[in-house]
Structure 1
Amino acid sequence: MPTFKIFKNARQTDSIQGADPKKLSDVVKKVASEVAKIDAGGDAGSSSTGKYWLGASLPRNYIDVTESVDVRGLDILNYETSKGTARTLFKENKPTDTDEQILLYIPFQSTLKVHSLHITSIPSSDAQEDDELPSRPKKLKIFVNRPKILGFDDADSMQATQDVELSEKDWDSKTGTANLELRFVKFQSVYSLVLFVAESEGDNEKVRIDRIRIIGETGEKRDGKIEKISHDDD
């Protein structure tokens, strides 16, 4: 039997299985209505309205799988608490927040095939000296399937699954987003990522990351649960 799947902002919103012309017609009319609102400048839940943020276009055959992030197990080091938490980086709305240089642990509820990461870093507009403003990430190290967050010394010295170096041309001028394409063969069965910003642009001591999106394919749900590791021992 034919199956029709409807996606909005890279996420499935409806599914029609079998020969049901009335339901299919109703869904087509609904989608057409939302498209008309977008063309007219209205609110149809697009990223431009602030309701949902997808900073870069999706590669063919892959979807936004950020909803697979296990937010209960997120861990982050060296960030400015007044600007939000690790969960802030995965919010669905348009970004407005700033974080300092970070070392981020991202566990997943399902085992994923990760094709790429979208990193949004919107340039600051505050009236401060340039060297005091947070800047964009330049060098990043990505580690796969670590059981918990790494320390800064370990992250700096260990060999990463993939090293990424960004230049100005990698940042989209409209959305402030860089598309980090990964070596797909090394990201086939991923249950966690550690993202380490090793260096920022220029001589700035702070780095700004507003949003992170995980792009790829979802697999089976993981058994058991992931618990956050405490770092309050010292």
Structure 2
Amino acid sequence: MPVQHIDNDAAFQLSFNDAGSSLVVIDFFATWCGPCHAIAPVFEELSNQYEGVVFLKVDVDKCFETKTIYGVRAMPTFLFIRNETTLHKIQGAKAEELRNKVHELSLDSSANGSSSESSVGIPGMVDLLSQVNISQLTCLNESDDHTVKYIFEENSDLYLESDCDPELLISVEFNQNIKLHSLKLVAPHDFGPKTLRLFINQPHNMDFDSARDGKPIQEFSLTKDDISENGLINLRFVKFQNVHNLTIFIPDNQGDEETTKIEKLTLIGKTVATTNMSEFKRVAGKEGESH
């Protein structure tokens, strides 16, 4: 599908709405940006290759509101969006990564029939793994051999385990602000978490004292069913509408064991940038003005 060149915020919204449930790839560029010009032929080539994908080329100096809503700070930036949910983000003129991601997500579109119900089984919600900044992921009191990164990997033999006592304090940073709907936490029945205390948008990583004494945004007393493969921990969604970091404090486990173990954590929700642009007040200038 040929590239659509967008030079104002209203045009972006029209093109974005017309895309429906198709995969949308957005190239945020600037006319003065050398790398933007270098990768432009690749973006054009891909648009001619993938008929079912919508390619939008957005001039950031003419679409200031769109750039702001999607948190674009570097050019070029490529966003991949389907059903109003941001699936992936690339910063920089990375041609090979761009080609690979378009190919991968276009196959997902075909396999899923562009359905709004994702593999997590909740309409409009997705697994937010692509939004987790793995390089900033931390956990206090993790074992040297069983670290926090394992709970986001598919290998069933890997797991997170606490070190010298049952407590775990996990800090998760997101690549962009998200709306968190629910959690899936899979763990062994005896070693799995019992109490779960959640904090959001902390200015810095918490320590155990502040996690014990602080007031969480929500707290759970989990059952063994909650931490099974079919378990789902529903959050008070209204309290998790603009989350840029999540802290999970686990003080104990189901069987009062010496250590706590978690096999897998799935964060379910969607990105804040899915909100329709008509719901935003203008951040500067008048409609149609360049910035």
Normalising TM by the smaller chain, what interval? 0.5 to 0.7
**TM, length-normalised to structure 2:** 0.52
Q: 2:52 aligns with which of 16, 37, 44?
A: 16
Shift of 1:201: 1.0
Does 2:255 correspond to 1:202? yes
Residue of 129, 133, 146 corresponding to 1:70? 133
Change (3 A) 1:89 1:147: farther
The amino acid that maps onto 1:153 is: D
CA distance in 2, matches of 1:60, 1:216: 10
> Counterpart of 2:161?
99
Correspondent of 2:234 among 163, 178, 181: 181
Query: Which has the larger helix fraction?
Result: 2
Structure 1 counterpart of 2:254, which letter?
E
- Per-residue displacement from partner, 1:120-141 (whole Å, max 9, x unpaired)? 1135xxxxxxxxxx61101010
CA 1:217 to 1:2, structure 2 compared with 1: closer, same or farther past 3 Å? closer
Listed as ranges, the gaps of 5+ residues in structure 2 are 1-17, 24-49, 55-105, 113-117, 275-291
Task: Write the letter of the residue equivalent to 2:178.
Answer: L
Q: Secondary structure at the match of 2:233?
A: strand
TM-score normalized by the length of structure 1: 0.63
Q: Could you tell me whether the CA contact under 8 Å between 2:224 and 2:254 is conserved in 1?
A: no
> Which residue is 2:123 aligned to?
60
Residues in 2 aligned to 1:27 and 1:68: alpha-carbon distance in whole angstroms: 20
Over 3 Å counting, the alpha-carbon distance change for 1:169 and 1:4 in structure 2 is closer
Percent identity for Structure 1 against Structure 2: 26
Cα shift readout 1:38-76 (whole Å, capped 9, x = no counterpart): xxxxxxxxxxxxxxxx9x943222111121011111111
User: Where do residues 20-39 of structure 1 align in structure 2 (5 Å cutoff)?
Assistant: 31=111
Q: Contact conserved, 1:95 with 1:211, CA < 8 A, in 2?
A: no
Task: Name the CA distance, whole Å, in 2 between partners of 1:98 and 1:2.
Answer: 41
1:87 aligns to 2:149 (yes or no) = yes
Amino acid in the other structure paired with 1:206: T
Which of the residues 201, 205, 224 maps onto 1:149?
Answer: 205
Of 186, 200, 214 in structure 2, the residue corresponding to residue 158 of structure 1 is 214
1:148 Cα shift? 2.4
Instruction: State the aligned residue count.
Output: 170
Do the aligned partners of residues 135 and 16 (structure 1) sit closer, same or farther apart at CA in structure 2, a change above 3 Å counting? Answer: same
* 1:168 alignment partner, SS class: coil
Q: Residue 207 of structure 1 aligns to which amino acid in structure 2?
A: T
Q: How many Å separate the matches in 1 of 2:131 and 2:171?
A: 14
Q: 1:68 to 1:31 in 2, by over 3 A?
A: closer
CA distance in 2, matches of 1:108, 1:142: 15
Structure of higher CA gyration radius: 2
Q: Which amino acid aligns with 2:269?
A: G
Segments of 5+ residues of structure 1 without an aligned counterpart are 7-13, 19-25, 33-53, 124-133, 222-234
Segments ≥4 residues shifted beyond 4 Å: 1-4
1:85-119 residue CA offsets vs partner (Å, 9 max, x unmatched): 22222124445324114101101001000001111
